[in-house]
Structure 1
Amino acid sequence: MNLTFISDTHSLHDRLPAIDAGDVLIHCGDFTGRGTLDDTLNFAEFMAAQPFTHKIVIAGNHDWCFEDKRRKIAEYILKEYGLIYLNDSGIEIDGVKFWGSPIQPEFCDWAFNRERGADIRQHWDKIPADTDVLITHGPASGILDLCTHGERVGCEDLLHAIQRIKPRIHASGHIHEGYGKKKVGKTLFINACLLDERYQVRNPPIVVKL
């Protein structure tokens, strides 16, 4: 199974180079710029046109319409275009178990913010122990989470959950400067941000074969 990871396209997906075909295309959140339904529809059309058998999406902190009163409409748009939307939920594809969550530690005044500690931990406690591919918008603490100003902003409780579950892959985005991949123990960590910290299309999708 070929997995292709992208993240943080912020409504600039029309500027991306063509994405090579694969089995599963995964977007790790922040696919809109301002979290509008129009942005969501435009993104859904883009994703539907990609040459993949399955397409998995989670929301990010910019994707406001997936957390406010427009949530049902936003989710309906993705479903109508054949996309799999995960929100503290999972799906199994050809024996591979995926789990996705848009939640991140409090970060300015954005969508899907949760306080560190018990508030955010309740979301990570929902992750099944047999998860193969974990998708969250924000990174784990200390791994692909370094900002340009020198602060690491990943979630410690998420890291503890990953250490307990040991998924084969943990994919995230959110911190544009953290793009890349890193193997720690049994888990391959991926930060799939395609835009750099100046919101310029800079990085290619990350492709992994399971």
Structure 2
Amino acid sequence: PHISAVAYLTAPLLAAKLATRPCMHVCLEKRIGVCKAKTPARLARAIRFVAISDTHTRHRFLQLPHGADVLVHCGDFTMPEVYPAAHHEALRQLCDFFAHAARTCGFRCCIFVPGNHDKFVLGLGPRVVQEHLDKHVPCEARLLVDAGIWLRARGSECGGVALWGSPMSRANSKSSPNDAFQTSYEKEHEVPQGVLDIPREGKLDILVTHGPPASSDARGCKSLDAVLDNHEIPQPRIHVFGHTHEGAGEVKARSSGRCIAVNATSIDLSFCASQPPILFDVPFGERDEAPHQLEVVSF
């Protein structure tokens, strides 16, 4: 279905529901808006996530729900062709956005998986980007470039939610200059070395990529489908992505396995921030209550 209001996904039920508000209006003020619509009750023993993508500098016009734990940005934070001279400005805006979201909406963790427009991550280097996030964002903030994290209660050695982030997407065209982290047409069936190298042991609750799999979108990556159909690695409950603006808000259940695919793109084809954020809960543990203090651990 095409979601025209706040989308709410519960991982165990693999269901999509609408909030009481018929649509999410664009906030015309140049700041982060707090969604005033009533959001569904949180699942017991769960971590609440909000996913957005492809904001293309329109992040100030988003209305984000209050009270969620984790904000996930699936890439394309910047506009087309951000030149090297603007790389530091793009990073400053990302830090400001996450900092404001943490202070205004109460997020305890912010995650950024870059997209094909986010060349500033390559230009400055992941280490520099992470250092700025650590310094300027008042909550946990992570850049994920083919890496995984556990979100769990501070001091706990078990339980929690496992998330893997990869910036891969299929090239828009052979001539597009916005090709950061992309897979070429000629190699779309192959997974590049070091990409989506998910550990075979353990579990995976959430997969975040910039681009969709081909099974969810004709412009998606066939190599992503190969990963999702590989039962030798943990299969995610939810796969969240962006990249294709036409599919914004689409929620699809994969024919194989338990995974559902969600396009969290935030802007429409006119580059207006008219699409709602995606809201979903993932159970934290069978016996644990929702953590009061989140700890982010790499894996």
Q: Shorter-chain TM-score: which interval?
A: 0.7 to 0.9
Residue number among 73, 77, 81 corresponding to 2:132 in the alignment: 77
Corresponding residue for residue 259 of structure 2: 187
Deviations, residues 44-79 of structure 1 (Å, cap 9, x unaligned): 111122221111111111111111355443332223
- Describe the shift of the 1:18–1:114 C-alpha distance in structure 2 as closer, same or farther (beyond 3 A): closer
Please, which runs of 5 or more residues in structure 2 have no aligned partner?
A: 1-46, 153-159, 283-299
Specify the SS of the correspondent of 2:71: strand
Specify the SS of the correspondent of 2:272: coil
Please, which runs of 5 or more residues in structure 1 have no aligned partner?
A: 146-151
Specify the SS of the correspondent of 1:38: helix
Residue number among 212, 215, 234 corresponding to 1:139 in the alignment: 212
Query: Between Structure 1 and Structure 2, whose CA radius of gyration is higher?
Result: 2
Corresponding residue for residue 161 of structure 1: 227
The count of aligned residue pairs is 203
Deviations, residues 68-122 of structure 1 (Å, cap 9, x unaligned): 3554433322232241111110100121111101122233232112233475343
Q: Does 1 or 2 have the higher relative contact order (CA < 8 Å, sep 6+)?
A: 2
Residue 20 of structure 1: CA displacement? 2.3
Residue number among 112, 116, 124 corresponding to 1:61 in the alignment: 116
Specify the SS of the correspondent of 1:177: helix
Residue 162 of structure 1: CA displacement? 1.1
Q: Which residue identity lines up with residue 167 of structure 1 in the other structure?
A: P
Higher helix share: 1
**8 Å Cα contact 2:165-2:208 kept in structure 1:** yes
1:111 aligns with 2:180: yes
Question: How far apart, in 2, do the equivalents of 1:19 and 1:13 lie?
Answer: 14
Deviations, residues 135-178 of structure 1 (Å, cap 9, x unaligned): 100000130x2xxxxxx110111012112242101110010111
Question: How far apart, in 1, do the equivalents of 2:262 and 2:244 lie?
Answer: 11
Corresponding residue for residue 37 of structure 1: 88
Question: How far apart, in 2, do the equivalents of 1:18 and 1:195 lie?
Answer: 14
**8 Å Cα contact 1:105-1:120 kept in structure 2:** no
- Describe the shift of the 1:60–1:125 C-alpha distance in structure 2 as closer, same or farther (beyond 3 A): closer
**8 Å Cα contact 1:194-1:204 kept in structure 2:** yes
With the length of structure 1 as denominator, give the TM-score of the two structures: 0.88
Considering only aligned residues, what root-mean-square deviation do their CA atoms show, in Å? 1.9
Q: Which residue identity lines up with residue 56 of structure 2 in the other structure?
A: H
